[in-house]
Amino acid sequence: MRIADRINRLGTETAFAVSGEANAFAAQGHKVYPFHLGDINLPTPQTVVDGAEKAIADGKTGYCPNAGIPQLREAIAADVAASHHTDYTMENVVIQPGGKPTIGKFILALMNPGDEVLYPNPGYPIYESQIEFNGGVAVPYGYTEGGDNFLLDFDSIERGITDRTRLLILNDLQNPMGAECLLSEHERLAELVREHDLYVLADEAYFDMRYSGTSTSFVEQPGMAERTVVLYTFSKKFAMTGWRLGASIGPKAIVDVIAKINVNHESCSNHFIQYGALAGLQGDQTEVRAILTELEARRNATVGGLNAIEGVSSFHPNATFYLFPNVTKLMAAKGTDSYEEFRRAALHATGVSFTTRLHFGRAIPGEKERYIRLAYSGIGVDDIQEALEKLKDWAEN
């Protein structure tokens, strides 16, 4: 078979292999505690379901505009303009079949082959894959442990910038670390972006997934709305991961290019689901708040359970549904420096299934601390407590 050369540069989400192992272990009759995937085991709000089903009944089953239905583009623009203190209108919004499509389309729209792109590592593995697949040079930057949060490692960002750097990817609030940028980090980053004339992808998939405080967008920084594309998704806030609906939000000139890519890639996103999301945005928010209340209880249970384990320490992030505990001491106590060995040993001894730092980009040479990632979006509080007691027993004996 004569596969194109570019496929050699195509990455994947290796976390799916962890799902496979967890499912195989469960199939042998073991109870598995699924902390490995960022899916949500909560129902989509009935407001959204009703809106979509009404649209089907109303005949919204034919094509819709490539950029999405105007009503939804307007509603998203109004929502984001308010939360981001910008003057976005519907011309700044192009609907996508999920959050993820914005990553590839941002790169296709703005990156030439050979351009260098700064991206977070540990980070969502599709950044690295899409940069390299499309002929760019993926330049990682890292994070450091602060007192109660992970912080951008500005040393690695500044070291990574060359005269070939064109784009920067920021994921705030962050997967896998649950990190949230301080305002001072946004300010410092915006300075670098202006100084080096970069364009930015602000992956804000978790912007509305927070339990206290208020999310602040990078685009609030002076001049940044003019050079940033925001990745927006309904997947998390409305528990709609399998519905596939999101948007790219940015300067009209880029949004128009991305809409033209839509014409070529998939014509349009599902028509009636856009009415469902519109109903979700405009309707009563009780169900949406209930999702956050449930996730907050899970966050508390998971953080508490992790920090009760000798050799494990986790921050208590206010947002996302991910935790990135430091397990350096536990791995040393267990006598292994292999992430995969450690992960499999925990799975087979306890049924607790998680991913590790390795599933979120290539390890950076010299990394000394060891981390695993737990997603608490797909597992209830009782199972979380049971899981972490088992993990503690295994860890401490």
Residues that bind a copy of itself (CB under 8 A): 1-7, 10-13, 16, 37, 39-41, 43-44, 49, 52-53, 56, 59-64, 66, 97-98, 100-101, 104, 108-112, 126, 129-130, 133, 166, 199, 239-244, 251, 253-254, 257, 260-261, 263-273, 378
- If the CB atoms of residues 246 and 305 are measured against a copy of itself, the closer one turns out to be 246
Report in angstroms how near the CB of residue 297 gets to a copy of itself at its nearest: 20
Cis amide prior to 43 (ω within 30 degrees) = no
Question: Which residues lie closer than 8 Å to 134 by C-beta, 6 or more apart?
Answer: 104, 107, 108, 111, 113
For residues 357, 360, 366 and 368, what is the CA-based torsion angle, rounded to 10 degrees? Answer: -20
- Helices 381-396 and 286-307: crossing angle in degrees, nearest 10, is 10
Name which of 43 and 146 has its Cβ closer to a copy of itself.
Answer: 43
Nearer to a copy of itself, 148 or 163 (CB): 163
**For residue 183, which amino acid is it?**
L
Q: Closest CB to a copy of itself among 52 and 374?
A: 52
Structure tokens at 288: 């949406």
CA distances 222 to 76, 151, 217, Å, are 22, 21, 12
Closest CA to 296 of 330, 276, 325, 319: 319
Beta carbon of residue 102, minimum distance to a copy of itself (angstroms, whole number): 10
* Tokens representing residue 238 in the block: 């409305």
Q: Nearest approach, Cβ of 25 to a copy of itself (angstroms)?
A: 18
143 beta partners: 152
Residue 265: CB minimum distance to a copy of itself, A: 6
CB of 122 to a copy of itself, least distance (A): 18
Nearer to a copy of itself, 119 or 150 (CB): 119
Cβ at position 228, least distance to a copy of itself in Å: 12
Burial of 349 (0-12, 13-18, 19+ CB in 10 A): middle
Q: Which two tokens stand for residue 54?
A: 């009404």
Do the Cβ atoms of 97 and 337 come closer than 8 Å? no
Q: Rounded to the nearest whole angstrom, what is the least distance from the CB of residue 340 to a copy of itself in the complex?
A: 20
Q: Is 202 strand, coil or helix? A: strand
Residue number with CB closer to a copy of itself (142 or 280): 280
Query: Could you tell me the smallest distance in angstroms from the CB atom of residue 62 to a copy of itself?
Result: 5
What does each C-alpha distance from 51 to 178, 269, 275 come to in angstroms?
32, 16, 6
Q: Which is nearer to a copy of itself, 47 or 269 (CB)?
A: 269
- Shortest distance in whole angstroms from residue 263 CB to a copy of itself: 5
Cβ within 8 Å of residue 15, ≥6 positions away: 36, 37, 125, 355, 359
Residue nearer to a copy of itself on the CB measure, 62 or 147:
62
Cα separation, 52 vs 48, whole angstroms? 6
Q: Which is closer to a copy of itself, CB of 237 or CB of 390?
A: 237
